[in-house]
Structure 1
């Protein structure tokens, strides 16, 4: 009996020691909230000694928070934030360069190509329209096929889209329109679209969710959310406008100043691993490791061919000016935060 108690005590001590030895990483993210548990669990299958403490909000909010904390960083790692945001952080000298194991196998289009990369891509999310077919028929509305279609008077008050100041999806749309159409024509297009906007949300997912429940017929959102809602039986069709789709890369980086560099590097190695890329591919058709990409139901075939030639560096450089101009012109229809 004494021997059993001794063995039990030793076992308990080992467990306690293991818990005490666990490194905790503060990870800032713009990932969808319903993805966080899965991402952490998959990582912990391989690295149970590292605990992830998520700090999650929309892309714009997380980006602003990181910039505000520049002189006193609270995050160790960013996992799942737009590449444009990480380019801004890199320009502010806030990222710790690190080349993860397997980096050379990633698509150059979706990662930092500096000799010492500061951020790595995970997957690309792309614009889409979520269209409620029941509401469209009920209201006698034609199915839109292009961005320009959304400026037709028949859609007045029938469209919801994300605010680009708080939503990465909203910003990728605005950035894409300016790159596709040019500055003057791009802002003229947004003037026309604004007339038909019911409201601007502070979440990239919300317009699609609103369309799925019939609150509005058309939500300007992104394909991942639309695909998931369609899987769940929502009466929506996904429309990929004919002019081309804005997109953004979800990416990861180590925040300069972390005292947990070894654990942060371990996480970054895992972020670009084949296992992680297969996990991203469960919801995204385009991932940074091309060999890991398999077709995803309800995504278009050859999804990458629909993407515009997106200049992420230009978007990062002009982000603040674009947002300032957008707010002056359109913020009156934004929902309260």
Structure 2
């Protein structure tokens, strides 16, 4: 029995030694992201197959929250990679000295709009998302609500208590909508409009996707959200229509970056190389009308040329004025 026991222990030890090199090949990379959970699941199936040597540790929060966590950790940085966080926030991170410039493999394929202007860039964009209204036609019939066609419509008294919108402090979707309105109308008129819109708001949500999901569930008539969620809810059978406001949808760009901590981690660069590969771009293009590399088909139900439906976003202005705008928004509308 003793000899058998010794053999068993020895066999286990030998097995562990044999497995050691394989285990050692796994390189840990810590990724902070604001990408929607169902998209992460889809993307990571491919990433795990293509990058079997990586042990990916993912932290997912809404844009405002993940950005606040990352900024708070600046003196004890945990993230190696920022993946799919708003370009506006990336500019804030860059200006705070938290990012390491890096040109991922294949960068030359990226469209000029989808990258930091510096060479090498501090961030690279992967897709564009735009503000959209989710309009529940059944709730509308119940309350005799007309279908909104514009931002101006949403401020009409008929919609009082029927609109839900993301909080711009926690949601990238919320901030892109507010920033776009202020850029398009100018700040004096923009804040007057937001004052009027606020009279109709039933709730400001933490998440950018929740307003549309609430509308789809029949909890609200109108959810100000973004186009991916509107299409997904409609595909799932919810009685919602997607409305792109006729003045122009606000838009934002999901982007990637290497952090100062990640600069010391080869696995971080490896992931960022994959994250702009054709494989990754093909996955992003399942959900968004415009991705960082041209030539991918547009999902059914989305405009073929988004330049005709969006209002141009000055990302530098949005980043520079973000804290001031959020402070003013909180003072006026925080509930």
TM-score with structure 1 setting the length: 0.93
Asked if the contact 2:100/2:263 (under 8 Å) is kept, the reply is no
Q: Say which SS state the counterpart of residue 164 (structure 1) adopts.
A: coil
Structure 1 gap ranges (5+) = 333-337
SS in 2 for 1:290: coil
The answer as to whether partners of 2:91 and 2:316 remain within 8 angstroms in 1 is yes
**Distance apart, 1:11 and its partner CA:** 7.4
Rounded to whole Å, the distance in 2 between the matches of 1:7 and 1:121 is 50
Which of these residues, 96, 116, 125, is aligned with residue 112 of structure 1? 116
- What does 1:23-38 correspond to in 2, within 5 Å? 23-38=27-42
Match of 2:4 in 1: none
Tell me how far 1:107 sits from its aligned partner: 1.2
Confirm whether residue 148 of structure 1 aligns to residue 138 of structure 2: no
Return the match for 2:214 from 210, 213, 220: 210
Deviates more, 1:143-152 or 1:250-259: 250-259
TM-score, normalisation: structure 2: 0.94
Residue 335 of structure 1 corresponds to none
Are the counterparts in 1 of residues 134 and 222 from structure 2 also a CA contact under 8 Å?
yes
Cα distance in 2, alignment partners of residues 13 and 304 from structure 1: 58
Select the structure of larger CA radius of gyration: 2
Quick one: which of 301, 311, 321 aligns to 2:314? 311
Query: Deviation string for 1:86-127 (max 9, x for gaps)?
Result: 100000111011001111211111211211101111101111
The match for 2:259 is: 255
Matches within 5 A, 1:171-250: 171-250=175-254
Number of the residue aligned with 1:296: 299
Q: Is 2:323 aligned against 1:320?
A: yes
What is the CA distance between 1:256 and its match in structure 2?
0.4
* Two-structure CA RMSD over aligned residues (Å): 1.8
What is the CA–CA distance in structure 2 between the aligned matches of 1:86 and 1:326, rounded to whole Å? Answer: 21
Equivalents in 1 of 2:121, 2:227: separation in Å? 28
2:286–2:298: 8 Å Cα contact kept in structure 1?
no
1:138–1:35 Cα change, 3 Å: same
State the alpha-carbon separation in 2 of the partners of residues 323 and 331 from structure 1: 10
* Distance 1:260-1:40 versus aligned 2 partners, 3 A rule: farther
Distance 1:212 1:53 in 2: 32
| Partner residue in 2 for 1:331 | 334
Query: Over residues 119-143 of structure 1, what are the superposed CA-to-partner deviations in whole Å (9 max), with x where a residue is unaligned?
Result: 1111011110000011111111000
Alignment partners' CA distance in 2, 1:231 and 1:13: 51
Q: Report the Cα distance in structure 2 between the residues aligned to 1:209 and 1:16, rounded to whole angstroms.
A: 47
Contact 2:64 2:171 in 1 (8 A): yes
Bigger drift between 83-92 and 63-72 goes to 63-72
CA drift of 1:300 comes to: 2.5
Match of 1:40 among 19, 44, 54: 44
What does 1:275-294 correspond to in 2, within 5 Å?
275-291=279-295, 293-294=296-297
Query: Are residue 137 (structure 1) and residue 141 (structure 2) matched?
Result: yes
Equivalent pairs counted in the alignment come to 327
Distance 2:141 2:200 in 1: 18
Moved more, 224-233 or 17-26: 17-26
Q: What SS does the aligned partner of 1:143 have?
A: coil
Deviation at residue 268 of structure 1 after TM alignment: 0.9
- Alpha-carbon deviations, 1:133-172, whole Å to 9, x = none? 1111111100000100001100000000000000000000
Partner of 1:64: 68
Q: Are 2:162 and 2:220, in contact at CA under 8 Å, matched by a contact in 1?
A: yes
